[in-house]
Amino acid sequence: MLQQRRETDGEHIDELRAKRRRNAYRYVLLLLGVILLPIVAHNIYIRQLLPATGALLLLGILMVNILLLSLNRDAFLPPPVVLMLSIALVMLSLYYGQNYNLYLLFPLLVGLPVLFKTRWAVFLAVLSGLLVSPVVLTHYDPITGCVIGVSMGLTWLASAWLVFAMTEQSRRLRGLAITDSLTGAHNRRYLEIQAQQCLQNWNRYRRPASLLMMDIDHFKHINDKFGHSVGDVALQRMVALLQQRIRKVDILCRFGGEEFVLLLSETRAANALHIAEALRRAVERAKILPEGSMTISVGVCDVTQARDMEHWFELADAALYQAKRSGRNRVELAETALRD
């Protein structure tokens, strides 16, 4: 059930990303189409048949691409080809003495950061500048040429900064979506995604992984004795302590309440047991509470025992229950919990 929900959500996320890319591409195509209309009309009016034909062909390509994107289908020409054809059309117009078309490079520069990664956007922006620089230098005085060059550079930078700001905002929102607001650990949703990936890596490539399910002993008593604010601080301090003692590739998640799960990649049961014991001792020795010590019970299960993700969590939870039943402040392997 959980796996089906995750697969459905994954497909939904991929669909949203594809839709966002199509919308961005369609927006740029519409922008180019609006620009091309007066070019076509002017070239027909002055009887410049070659630029007019080129502009009409490009306009037809844009319209077909827009139609395909509106029908949620892939465009038959990728963004690089469309932009390079547009730049080529501008250069052709300049060759025929239509110097005013130079300013059509401005919207093209705006579209570069929207459609491409930074490296490609910079490359195409520099290429466009190099192609147009002879025209600017030969048809305008130095001051006007400098103004045009600076204006084009600022146009690209403003567009690039806007795209960067939107990307950074999306990254922060994604971070909030997968992070527990109180402790800063990852949330259960993120754990499920990563645990499923570990299961797939085990089934395909036999790459080991282990789950450590940890629960704070007598946490209700801590809240009753010191208050919920102290309990919240204790959770934060414990998470900070654990994060200092695990690898960057390991994933610490708040599973619910005072229960946490640590997902150890490339770690077999024996090593996971050793890590769990070290973390248990570290929590016991740390001064987390105003007085006395706080302890945790830990259940350990590696991926080799799991049929699926739900079974993996059940095994780790059974080991945790065994640790609590055996007196708390201890570590139990899932194999031991199953035998008992």
Residue 219's pLDDT band, with cuts at 50, 70 and 90, is very high
pLDDT for res 267: 93
71-127 pLDDT tens trace: 877 777 777 777 777 777 777 777 777 777 776 666 666 666 666 666 767 776 777
Report the range of poorest mean pLDDT among 21-25, 35-39, 268-272, 316-320.
21-25
Of residues 106 and 292, the one with the higher pLDDT is: 292
Long-range contact set of residues 154-159: C-beta below 8 Å, sequence gap at least 24 = 155/106, 155/109, 155/110, 156/109, 156/110, 156/112, 156/113, 156/121, 156/125, 159/109, 159/110, 159/111, 159/112, 159/113, 159/114
Give the residue with greater pLDDT, 205 vs 146: 205
Return left, alpha or beta for 257; rule: phi > 0 is left, psi -120 to 50 is alpha, else beta. Answer: left
What's the pLDDT score for residue 6? 44
Q: Tell me the pLDDT tens digit for each residue of 27-59.
A: 777 877 777 787 778 778 888 888 788 888 888
- Look at residue 340 and tell me whether its pLDDT is greater than 70: no
Q: Which residues of 166-201 are buried (b: 16+ CB within 10 A; e: fewer)?
A: eeeeeeeeeeeeebbeebebbbeebbbbbbbebbeb
Given a cut of 90, is residue 173 above it in pLDDT?
no
Average pLDDT along the chain? 81
DSSP 192-235: HHHHHHHHHHHHHH---EEEEEEEETTHHHHHHHH-HHHHHHHH
The mean-pLDDT minimum among 119-123, 177-181, 234-238, 335-339 falls in 335-339
Question: Where is pLDDT greater, at 17 or 35?
Answer: 35
Residue 138: predicted pLDDT: 73
Which of 90, 87, 67, 62 is CA-nearest to residue 77? Answer: 62
Percentage above 70 pLDDT, the chain: 79
**pLDDT band (50, 70, 90) for residue 5:** very low
Confidence (pTM) = 0.57
Q: Could you tell me the domains of the chain? A: 2-177 (no CATH), 188-339 (3.30.70.270)
Query: Hey, how many other C-beta atoms are within 10 angstroms of the C-beta on 243?
Result: 15
What pLDDT, on the 0 to 100 scale, is given for residue 10? Answer: 45
pLDDT at 3: 44
What is the phi-psi region of residue 97: left when phi exceeds 0, alpha when psi lies from -120 to 50, beta otherwise?
Answer: left
